[in-house]
Amino acid sequence: MIRLSLIALLLSGAAALAAPPQGEPAPVAMASAVAAPAAALPSRLQLRPEINLARDLVTFGDLIPGLSGEAAATAAFRAPALGETGTIQVARIVEAARAAGIVREAGDLQSQGFAQVVVTRAARRITAMDLEAAVKTGLQERFGVDARIFALAIDGGAPSVAVEPELTGDVAVVDLSFDARSRRLQARLAVPGSTAMRLKPLRISGQLVETMEVVVPKRLIARGETLGKDDVTVERRPRDGQGSEIIGDVRSAIDKVARRALLAGVALRGSDVQREEIVGKGDLVTIVYEAPGLLITLRGKATEAGAMGDVVSVTNPQSKRVLQGKVSGPGRVSVQPSAAGRVASAQ
**Contact predicate 331/343, CB 8 Å:** no
pLDDT at 4: 33
Q: Looking at residues 221-240, what average pLDDT do you find?
A: 91
SS3 133: helix
**Contact predicate 278/329, CB 8 Å:** yes
- Give the mean pLDDT of the chain: 84
Confidence of residue 23 (pLDDT cuts 50, 70, 90): very low
pTM value > 0.75: no
User: DSSP letters of 151-218?
Assistant: EEEETTSPPPEEE-TT--PPPEEEEEEEETTTTEEEEEEE-TT-HHHHHS-EEEEEEEEEEEEEEEES
Residue 345 has pLDDT above 70, yes or no: no
pLDDT at 306: 85
Residue 238 has pLDDT above 90, yes or no: no
215 has which bridge partners? 234
pLDDT at 111: 85
Residue 255 gets the label, from left (phi > 0), alpha (psi -120 to 50) or beta, of left
**Contact predicate 69/107, CB 8 Å:** no
**Contact predicate 250/235, CB 8 Å:** no
**Contact predicate 2/57, CB 8 Å:** yes
How many of the other CB atoms lie within 10 Å of CB of 112? 9
pLDDT at 32: 42
Confidence of residue 310 (pLDDT cuts 50, 70, 90): confident
206 has which bridge partners? 154, 185
User: What is the DSSP code (8-state) at residue 221?
Assistant: B
Of 184, 119, 187, 139, the residue nearest 159 (C-alpha): 187
pLDDT tens-place string over residues 184-225: 999 999 999 999 999 889 999 999 999 999 999 999 999 989
The Cα 49–Cα 93 span in angstroms is 12
pLDDT at 43: 57
pLDDT tens-place string over residues 114-140: 999 999 999 999 999 999 999 999 999
Q: Looking at residues 57-74, what average pLDDT do you find?
A: 93
pLDDT at 328: 85
pLDDT at 42: 53
Between CA 97 and CA 59, with CA 116 as vertex, the angle to 5 degrees is: 40
Backbone angles phi, psi at 275, to 5 degrees: -70, 150
Instruction: Out of 13-27, 155-169, 236-250, pick the least confident.
Output: 13-27
Confidence of residue 329 (pLDDT cuts 50, 70, 90): confident
Residue 233 has pLDDT above 60, yes or no: yes
